[in-house]
Amino acid sequence: MKRTGILNAALAGRLAALGHTDQVLVCDSGMPIPPGVTTVDLAFVPGVPSFAEVLDGLLAELVVEGAVAAGEVAEANPSCAALLADRLPGLEHVPHEELKRMSKEVRLVVRTGEARPYANVILRCGVYF
């Protein structure tokens, strides 16, 4: 049994299979998930687990070289915008419709129980060396 890190077997396995430049969408419970994209759905009840908890868990395990979020997050969900800015220096912003289009190209979706708007980000994997 694992002692630390991500304990969810499906998520841990999917993360281990990611490579350089693969993309992961971390999303709120309302984000449309593209058909055919591998998804690990962690949502339990509204707000659980939170976007922040899941993002922090993923960032502890992944090397991230870039990230993209919807520009609308700044006005509609300032606390999420601040979280993203703090955790992801160099974060890019695109319109939400563009983020939804980009989500069709991700390798993995991790759905949270977040119930606040625009709590979505696409992480681009880097390498540790």
Give the domain CATH number at 62. Answer: 3.40.1650.10
| Residue 96 is labelled as binding a ligand | yes
Whether 93 is catalytic = no
pTM above 0.75, yes or no: yes
Q: Which domain holds residue 112?
A: 21-125
Please indicate, yes or no, if residue 56 is contained in any of the structural domains.
Answer: yes
Please indicate, yes or no, if residue 7 is contained in any of the structural domains.
Answer: no
Residue 79 CA from chain centroid, whole number: 16
Instruction: Name the token pair of 54.
Output: 């899941």
User: Which H or E element spans position 102?
Assistant: helix 96-102
Number of domains present in the structure of the chain = 1
Please indicate, yes or no, if residue 1 is contained in any of the structural domains.
Answer: no
Considering 10, 20, 30, 105, which one is annotated as catalytic?
20
Q: Are strands 23-27 and 121-125 parallel, antiparallel or unpaired?
A: antiparallel
| Residue 119 is labelled as binding a ligand | yes
| Residue 118 is labelled as binding a ligand | yes
Instruction: Name the token pair of 4.
Output: 């630390």
Please indicate, yes or no, if residue 108 is contained in any of the structural domains.
Answer: yes
Q: pLDDT tens per residue, the chain (129 residues)?
A: 889 999 999 999 999 999 999 999 999 999 999 999 999 999 999 999 999 999 999 999 999 999 999 999 999 999 999 999 999 999 999 999 999 999 999 999 999 999 999 999 999 999 999
Please indicate, yes or no, if residue 67 is contained in any of the structural domains.
Answer: yes
| Residue 76 is labelled as binding a ligand | no
Please indicate, yes or no, if residue 63 is contained in any of the structural domains.
Answer: yes
